[in-house]
Amino acid sequence: MIRNMAQDNDTLVTARFGATVTTGLESIAQDEIRQKLQIEASILKGRIVFETSRPIGDILKLKTINNLFVIIHDEVFTDEQMPTESKYLEPLLMEIGERCDWRVGLLKWKEASGFERCDIDKMLTKDTDLKEVQPKFRVSSNRYGLKHTFTSPDICSTFGHVIDTKFGWPIRMKDYDLEVYANFSDNYLCVCISLTPGCLASGHIKEFGLTTLRAVYCYAMLKLAKVETGDIVLDPMAGTGAISVETCYAWLDDEFHAFAMAGELQEIPLGKCSANLNIDLHGRRPPSDKMRLDVTKMPIRDNCVDVIISDLPFGRRHGSKRGNKTLYPALLRSMGRVARLNTGRAVLLTQDKHAIQLASAANRDLWIERSFSHVKVGNLHCYFYIFQRNETKFSHDKESDEQPKRADQKLRKVATNNKC
């Protein structure tokens, strides 16, 4: 019983954590941490830092982070303190090794990994007889900046030697138990221990397509749309249904209870979408449905959809940039017909900035463009566009149907004149 109480106290130790976040989603990750962990987090480019005593299991449930680390030391050096040659790196890292809070870091790592071969005291004891039970480790490094006189491999080998000298842990490049990071960014050093063996944002997709969207982007779009309980959430270009699947899992996690509707024109992706939406968790089946439809002529009655979220074709693997200039205005107009007046909103992800701006200009009578933000999807620079449906009723006459085409022709003419 005393041992169990000690373990409970260990899990309540406050530690600083760092998490990698997709560039462009840092503020969404900050909001999620504030909502789910009731703490504040600091934003850096591509990562987020926060301090908490919450169990690791609670942190790993966050949907906007990719990898999680526990920070055991960080420090900003002056130019005079930075090594002028690689041979001066070892004395500096020896000092850093002594300043690191290894006990807290290992407690959190042990909690996350479930490592049971030995306790913390044995890990922190240098004893050749304990090598068989101590964790196997390796050191990795990410280095940014132009002033460094040393390389990332220099940091890895030197700091690995520091840890080996201090604790005597066995070194393994593969099949390791523990990974220590020593990251240099200009004059800033951060030493941390990885708590996740792989990326957390893998999602719940079973059947993949050519351009299946990662779960972290799907969840971010749901947050940007401010989905609420009772909303109908439509993805009219669903593909394999990644956005609808994440809507269902938000229902299972009790974040909000919305109805997920997936639409897709092609038969093969629609079959994969059906398989992905076949979700049954302990007898709980979130409300969802799928249908075959053309996004420009949706078989859905007017003013009935609360939220439209979609990953539009970028014009690379699917479609073309030229085709997007006609497709985007037509689909935004069709979305304007089915969206609820005043409250309906749409969040669209695209790389084709010109085509979405053309579509926005062609449909100003139906949509208000609230905002757009940059996000990196792989190595591509993409954008989230957020639209709000206005109070104007959709007109079904021929004049309305011709508007997107005329706007396309007008903008092309302006672009041609500008080039001349």
* Domain end marker among 194, 224, 257: 194
Question: Is position 420 within any domain?
Answer: no
**248 in the same domain as 298:** yes
What is the reported pLDDT for 398? 47
CATH code of residue 117: 3.30.2130.30
Question: Is position 40 within any domain?
Answer: yes
pTM: 0.85
What is the reported pLDDT for 419? 45
**287 in the same domain as 185:** no
**227 in the same domain as 189:** no
**302 in the same domain as 173:** no
Question: Is position 407 within any domain?
Answer: no
**144 in the same domain as 115:** yes
Into how many domains does the chain fold? 2
**219 in the same domain as 190:** no
Query: Which residue segment(s) compose the domain that 151 sits in?
Result: 15-194
SS (H, E, C) the chain: CHHHHHHHHHHCCCEEEEEECCCCCHHHHHHHHHHHHCCCEEEECCEEEEEECCCHHHHCCCCCCCEEEEEEEEEECCCCCCCCCHHHHHHHHHHHHHHCCHHHHHHHHHHHHCCCCCCHHHHCCCCHHHCCCCCCEEEECCEECCCCCCCHHHHHHHHHHHHHHHHCCCECCCCCCEEEEEEEECCEEEEEEECCCCCCCCCCCCCCCCCCCCHHHHHHHHHHCCCCCCCEEEECCCCCCHHHHHHHHHHHCCCCCCEEEEEECCHHHHHHHHHHCCCCECCECCCEEEEECECCECCCCCCCECEEEEECCCCCCCCCHHHHHHHHHHHHHHHHHHECCCCCEEEEEECCHHHHHHHHHHCCCCEEEEEEEEEEECCEEEEEEEEEECCCCCCCCHHHHHHHHHHHHHHHHHHHHHHC
**387 in the same domain as 261:** yes
**273 in the same domain as 131:** no
CATH code of residue 349: 3.40.50.150
Question: Is position 269 within any domain?
Answer: yes
**Average pLDDT by stretches of 10, the chain with 420 residues:** 45 90 95 95 93 95 94 92 85 95 96 92 89 93 85 94 94 94 92 90 83 93 96 96 95 91 95 93 88 95 97 79 92 97 97 95 96 92 97 76 53 48
